[in-house]
Amino acid sequence: MRTAWHRSGRRLKRKTAAVLAAALVLPLTALVLGGAVADAAPARTAPAGGFEEVFVDSSMGPIKVQIQWAARGGTAALYLLDGLRARDDRNAWSFETNALDQYRNDNLTLVMPVGGQSSFYSDWYSASNFNNQPVTYRWETFLTRELPAYLATRGVSRTNNGVLGLSMGGSAALTLAAYHRDQFKFAGSLSGYLNVSAPGMREALRVAMISAGRYNVDAMWGPPWNPAWLRNDPFVFAPELAGLSMYISAASGLPGEFDRPRTPIDYVNTGSAIGLEGLALLNTRAFQVRLSSLGIPATYSFPSNGTHSWPYWSSELFKARGQILDTLNAW
């Protein structure tokens, strides 16, 4: 009996020690594992102010994106789209205008994707064969899936955004907003080509895209009879814009306060800017009539002077600021 008692006591002591060890180890294990999960989880709070350049994975490869974070960590964002001659090192909004200063103290993140020359920020049918393009453009996919997914890990909303662009980026902004209404509440077009399937426009774009990087327009939306041309024409898909907050602008093309040509090349560039803005004005006025016929309101700005150039677009961005901040509740 005594031997059995000792044996039972030893077994009880061993079980008690095991339970105590488990009681000590399990909380520590939970603490360690809990810390590892927390560290691996993506950040959900947007940085409060500051400027950053990041590379975001896409089907086209890593895409550089310049970001100015909302001043007080807000979740709203404004995508700023470049023009036809978009560069691969910087988005021109970041250095050709004072956009960063305009919105530095606002609770709105500026998102400036880099690259996309002659892309119209669209998903192309194939890579351009004129310039041996290594990958097929997939800009709509990037701007509406891959980039928002990344920004969400930094605390930016997937649904409270605006998109604004100039020239090529103007029509692209309206296209993106029309087909992705869950993402964009505001769209702005400055000197945009808003009737790209109008007579003569395909030929004009063909010439322009060859000039800007030797891109083949047929690789973008196919031949003139392809439905993709209509899908990407704001004049055609205008009914899809009902209820969207819009700022639409184009100047007269007449030289204004920012046009001061001095050298021969200055006069050539100014002449080109006059012609391009005149064409943008015709497209934009046609688009205005189209929206009016549908009973769809928008804010319009048609300055009496101004050419197809950055100082005028910087000014128009500032004019749109109040509407953008009101729409996105980002003051």
Beta bridge partners of 281: none
* Cα 236 from Cα 108, distance rounded (Å): 31
Give me the catalytic one of 118, 245, 277, 315: 277
In this predicted model, what pLDDT tens digit does every residue of 44-90 receive, in sequence order?
Answer: 677 899 999 999 999 999 999 999 999 999 999 999 999 999 999 99
pLDDT grade, residue 42 (50/70/90)?
very low
Q: What is the DSSP string of 213-277?
A: T---HHHHH-STTSHHHHHT-HHHHGGGGTT-EEEEE---SS--TT----SHHHHHHHHHHHHHH
- Asked about 167 being catalytic, the answer comes back as yes
Going by C-alpha positions, the residue among 139, 150, 162, 146 that lies closest to residue 86 is 139
Residue 44: the pLDDT is: 62
Q: How much of the chain, in percent, has pLDDT values that exceed 90? A: 85
Residue 2: the pLDDT is: 44
CB distance 226 to 128 below 8 Å = no
* Alpha carbon 189 to its chain's center: 13
pLDDT grade, residue 43 (50/70/90)?
low
Residue 29: the pLDDT is: 35
Residue 262: the pLDDT is: 94
Ordered by start, the domain boundaries in the chain are: 1-41, 51-328
Average pLDDT of the chain to the nearest whole number: 90
pLDDT grade, residue 278 (50/70/90)?
very high
| pLDDT higher than threshold 50 for residue 118 | yes
* Cα 189 from Cα 101, distance rounded (Å): 20
In this predicted model, what pLDDT tens digit does every residue of 204-263 receive, in sequence order?
Answer: 999 999 999 999 999 999 998 999 999 999 999 999 999 999 999 999 999 999 999 999
Give me the catalytic one of 118, 119, 308, 309: 308
Q: In terms of C-beta distances under 8 Å and separation of at least 24 residues, what long-range contacts does 175-179 make, across chains too?
A: 175/120, 175/121, 175/122, 175/140, 175/231, 175/232, 175/234, 175/237, 176/79, 176/121, 176/140, 176/143, 176/144, 177/241, 177/244, 178/234, 178/237, 178/240, 178/241, 178/244, 179/140, 179/237, 179/240
| pLDDT higher than threshold 60 for residue 129 | yes
| pLDDT higher than threshold 90 for residue 19 | no
Give me the catalytic one of 167, 191, 245, 314: 167
* Cα 294 from Cα 282, distance rounded (Å): 19
Q: Name the CATH architecture for the domain at 51-328.
A: 3-Layer(aba) Sandwich (3.40)
Residue 45: the pLDDT is: 74
| pLDDT higher than threshold 80 for residue 287 | yes
CB count within 10 Å of CB 199 equals 7
* Cα 78 from Cα 68, distance rounded (Å): 10
Residue 82: the pLDDT is: 98
| pLDDT higher than threshold 60 for residue 180 | yes
Going by C-alpha positions, the residue among 283, 188, 270, 165 that lies closest to residue 235 is 283
* Cα 260 from Cα 171, distance rounded (Å): 28
Residue 46: the pLDDT is: 78
Query: Could you identify the residue written with the tokens 């006069």?
Result: 267
